[in-house]
């Protein structure tokens, strides 16, 4: 099993450009999550999904959109990138069972100039 994979690993955007980050998991997990990590702030939840076709807002959803068209994939979109979105983005998944740990991908480092 590859676990949780993220594409791309690195990306540099100019302000106003758009992009999509792809997360894929091969563990048949129901729940998936997108976090961002900024220095000194830990990880903050952007959006999450509790099943195929469902999405919900997390703590810091502004400027992002998500889609979960297939159970194994969770896409994070930036329609018009801003320098404040420079961050490291992590995707995670879990089974949805009570007290289940979340499994994280390796991250995507995004820089917006």
User: Of 22, 40, 24, which Cα lies nearest the Cα of 78?
Assistant: 22
| 104 part of the interface to other proteins, by CB under 8 A | yes
Per-residue tokens: 8: 């791309």
| 90 part of the interface to other proteins, by CB under 8 A | yes
Q: Distance (Å, rounded) from C-alpha 45 to C-alpha 61?
A: 8
Instruction: Give the nearer residue to other proteins in terms of CB position, either 77 or 104.
Output: 104
Per-residue tokens: 110: 């995004």
Q: How far is the CB of 33 from other proteins (least distance, A)?
A: 7
Identify residues 22-81 at the interface with other proteins (CB under 8 A). Answer: 31, 33, 35, 40-45, 48, 50, 56, 58-59
């Amino acid at each position: 099993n590859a676990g949780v994979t993220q594409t791309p690993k690195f990306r540099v955007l100019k302000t106003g450009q758009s992009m999509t980050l792809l997360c894929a998991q091969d563990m048949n997990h129901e729940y998936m999550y997108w976090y961002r990590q900024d220095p000194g702030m830990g990880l903050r939840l952007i959006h999450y999904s509790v099943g195929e076709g469902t999405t919900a807002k997390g703590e810091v959803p502004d400027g992002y959109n998500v889609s979960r068209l297939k159970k194994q994939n969770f896409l994070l979109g930036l329609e018009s990138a801003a320098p404040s979105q420079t961050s490291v983005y992590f995707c995670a998944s879990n089974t949805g069972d009570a007290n289940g740990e979340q499994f994280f991908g390796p991250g995507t480092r995004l820089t917006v100039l």
